Every structure is written in structure tokens, then in C-alpha cells.
Structure 1
Amino acid sequence: MKLGPHLHRIGNDIVAAYLVDTDEGVSVIDAGLAGHWRDLLDELGVMGRSLDDVRGVVLTHGDTDHIGFAERLRRDHGVPVFVHAADADRARGGEKPKTPMGPKRVGPMVTFAAYALRKRGWRTEYLTEVTAVADGEVLALPGSPRVIAMPGHSPGSIAVHVPVADAVFVGDALTTRHVLTGRTGVQPAPFTDDPSQALESLARLAGVDASWVLPGHGAPWRGDLTAVPAKVRQAAD
């Protein structure tokens, strides 16, 4: 799905990943689930691109529903995968703390599980090699993605600001569709390691010059980024 001149989304409001398209090639932001590989190929075709045009994958964090096809791109096509140093072990299959599920509804949970099954979420392939990044780093990839540390959902959660796409990719720093309740709108994401820290990290979005806020789950959101922390805190109450 084309969102803008340099911006495409694959997947849907349940699980999404993004492509940044520039003259220098394509940057992939998050890698969804393993079965999103076909979606990637289809969207590249629509863009007039191929796997040879992909220059790198930037992961907003190391959870399984964000690393889906990243190792396949790295291993089979030599595409480097970037992740914050604090989440490098998680992306390689390291231990993840158990978090409370919080509120839930049967229907949305079944929908999420069925979609994950259809997209081969059970066939997660962890990374064997990653390139660690740090807060403030600007990557030498199409769109010059800038790393913004957003610890809370995981220790190495990041947002990725890409000015040419007028977008900031937030992973699970927030969500606009809660996968366990089906509730829509800007709100905290479930399965968060440290909810208080995640809320505090949202203040780091206030100075970002972007119109699009693009989560890993839920519809793209457009609006004033300075309002985002208050909206998420209100939804958390």
C-alpha cells in the first residue's frame, strides 16, 4: 500500500512493516512475520523494485512479530539488519521477560492468532547477525533513517525518523490497534516490559518533524506529535 511518494506499507492493521523508497534504493522498517515475505515481494514489484534494491532493514525492536523475514533477507540477499544494541540479543532469540497480558477480548485475540498463523508466525527465524545502532545515529541507508531511543516496550525499542517520508516509525512504542482488545486509537501497546518507562519515552517524539506516526500494529496516524504523549497517557488511565 502506497502511503506517500517515498512510503509504502505491507501487512495490515494487525501487523505492519514499511518500505522507504528513494533514488538510492529501499530501506525496510521492521520485517513483520515470516509470511510477509510474499507481501514484500509483491509491494516491491508494484514499486518497480526488486530485492536487489533493498539496502537494509531497521528493526524498531527485537520481538518475533517484527523480525519475520529479516534473517532471510540478510542470509540469502546480503541485506544488513540494524537493531538497537539493547535488543540485539532479543532479535537473536534471547530470553524475553514475561509481561502481563492486561485487558483482552476473545474476538480480537482469535483474529490476531489466526493472522499470525496464516503469516507463519510460528516459523520465526531469529537473526544470526545484526548491526547494533545507538540513539541519535543516522544510518547510511535510503532516507537517512535516524534512531530515536524509546526504551520501555523493550530495552532497545526505538523510533525511526525518516524525513523524506515525513514519517516516524514507532514499532510498539505505542499502538493504534490493540491486538488483544481490538480497541483503536493512539494508546499503549500490550506486552510492554516497562509500561512507565514506555510512557516517559514518548516525550522524545515531541521534537520530531513528521506528519505520519507509523506503528507496528494499527492504522497509520497523522497529527501533531506533541499531542501524542498526552493522548497515550489518557488512553492508559
Structure 2
Amino acid sequence: MNAQLLRIGDDIVAMHAVVTDEGVTLIDAGLPGDRRILQDALAGAGRTLDDIRGVVLTHGDGDHIGVAEWLRAEHGVPTFVHEADAGRAKGEKAPSSSGGAWKLGPALRFFGTALRRGALRTTHLGEVRTVRDGDVLDLPGAPEIIGMPGHSPGSIAIRIPAVDALFVGDAITTRHVLNGSEDVQIGPFSDAPEQTPESLERLRALPERSIVVGHGPIFRGTAADMLAALKR
């Protein structure tokens, strides 16, 4: 299978597209104002919104569901989310408000970016398709679902060997959005951060060499390398 990984957005808030001969799978959906950057990124790969077969959410927070409802309502693209985060993605449950220590510069960059890219216009999902641990989805790249509770009850890792990548959402961050720390660390705004290290252990033996996070640069190395670097 020919497959390409597109990083869309930036190290503050990113989504990713897995582009294959069979179409496109979108991993997370950025912020509400990200419609144009998504279209431009797909155009650069010779694709359009009509090539997107599904959106798979690493979890249901507002900075990960951005364009998902627009894609569903106007383009018929289904969104997949773990059953334990379905209510979160539909706006029925609130995420944690605890983000940890702040530094003025990084925090202003995060909130400024979020505002410029439409964070105040978040539209929750009207309909989702739920997934469970161990599912392999019939989508381009054959995403494999690995349950990763901690950041939220329904947080997942998404394994896509075709692009040599594990997508871990906000389970970890490689650049803390509120204080700028570039340590590999548990993501802020987590419901149960003490649960995340145990969840991450499920990834240890996997061979993929790109650990893709929602906030911060991609970690280049295996899950075992990431666990060795994780700040405890």
C-alpha cells in the first residue's frame, strides 16, 4: 500500500491525514477554523475533501474535534471515537480544567492560536460511530485501536503501520502548551494522569518509529524509546 502522512496545523494544535490509494483517513480534526488548511494540505497531495473516508479521534476534546461535524454534516464523513468518549465528543461531558503550571509566553501562544483558529466556535458532534479496544477499522491505512484511558476515559492510541506511526493524542506531549517544556511528559488537562503511564505500557513492544502527539513535534523513535524518555 502506498501511504503518506500529512501533518496539518502546527506544533500547538495538529491533525494528521493518512493518504493512501484507497482514500484518506483523518486522525483528529484540529480546530473549527482549520477548514482551509485541511483543504490546502489535501490539495498539495492531489486530494480533496471527497477523498476523506473517516475521521478517527484520539479523544473527544474540543481542540481535536474542530472540523469533524462540518465534515459529517456537509460531506458525509463519519467520525469514529471510543465509546467512553462519545459523550465528550457530543458535548455531553466536560474535560478536565487542570492544566498544570503556566508560563506567560507559551500560554498566550496556545490561547492566541486557539482563538485565531476558531476555538470559540466549537461545534460538537451530532452523531458518532463508536469503537473499542482492539478494533481495526475499515478505513484507509487500517487504523488499529488501542485503549489508552488516562487523559480521558476514552482516549486511544491509533496504530497505522502503513505510515510507521502511533498516534497518541494528548496522552503525552512533547511541548507543553502552557509552559513550553519540551520534555516528553503526560499531557495537561488530563482527567486521570496517574493512569496514563500504565496505559502507555501497552505500546512498549510496538515497532512503529513515529509517535505522533496532538501538541508538540512528532517523537522520532519507538514507544519503548518514548517510555524511556518520559518524565515521571
Instruction: Give the alignment's TM-score, normalised by structure 2.
Output: 0.97
Is the 1:202–1:228 Cα contact (8 Å) retained in structure 2? no
Note the C-alpha offset of 1:124: 0.2
Secondary structure of 2:227 counterpart: helix
The structure 2 residue matched to 1:41, chosen from 25, 39, 42, is 39
Name the amino acid aligned to 2:98.
P
Residue number in structure 1 paired with 2:168: 170
Task: Tell me how far apart the structure 2 counterparts of residues 173 and 98 of structure 1 sit (CA, whole Å).
Answer: 13
Is the 1:82–1:133 Cα contact (8 Å) retained in structure 2? yes
Name the amino acid aligned to 1:33.
L
Residue number in structure 2 paired with 1:90: 88
Task: Tell me how far apart the structure 2 counterparts of residues 183 and 212 of structure 1 sit (CA, whole Å).
Answer: 20
- Point out where structure 1 has 5 or more consecutive residues left out of the alignment: none
The structure 2 residue matched to 1:52, chosen from 34, 37, 50, is 50
Name the amino acid aligned to 1:120.
G
- Point out where structure 2 has 5 or more consecutive residues left out of the alignment: none
Root-mean-square deviation (CA, aligned residues, Å) is 1.2
The structure 2 residue matched to 1:143, chosen from 134, 141, 144, is 141
Q: Percent of counterpart pairs with the same letter?
A: 54
Deviations 1:76-98 (A, max 9, x none): 00001000000000000012254
Most deviating of 89-98 and 162-171: 89-98
Secondary structure of 1:202 counterpart: helix
1:23 aligned to 2:25?
no
Task: Tell me how far apart the structure 1 counterparts of residues 131 and 3 of structure 2 sit (CA, whole Å).
Answer: 27
Task: Tell me how far apart the structure 2 counterparts of residues 22 and 92 of structure 1 sit (CA, whole Å).
Answer: 29
Residue number in structure 2 paired with 1:221: 219
Matches within 5 A, 1:103-114: 103-114=101-112
Note the C-alpha offset of 1:5: 5.2
Note the C-alpha offset of 1:102: 1.6
Is the 1:13–1:219 Cα contact (8 Å) retained in structure 2? yes
Task: Tell me how far apart the structure 2 counterparts of residues 190 and 151 of structure 1 sit (CA, whole Å).
Answer: 14
Deviations 1:126-161 (A, max 9, x none): 001000000010000000000010000000000100
Secondary structure of 1:180 counterpart: coil
Task: Tell me how far apart the structure 2 counterparts of residues 170 and 71 of structure 1 sit (CA, whole Å).
Answer: 22
Name the amino acid aligned to 1:84.
H
Note the C-alpha offset of 1:185: 3.2
Instruction: Give the alignment's TM-score, normalised by structure 1.
Output: 0.95
Call closer, same or farther: CA 1:107–1:146 in 2, change over 3 Å. same
Deviations 1:22-52 (A, max 9, x none): 1100000000101111110000100000111
Secondary structure of 1:79 counterpart: coil
1:9 aligned to 2:7?
yes
Most deviating of 79-88 and 94-103: 94-103
Note the C-alpha offset of 1:218: 0.3
Residue number in structure 2 paired with 1:231: 229
Aligned residues: 231
Secondary structure of 1:6 counterpart: strand
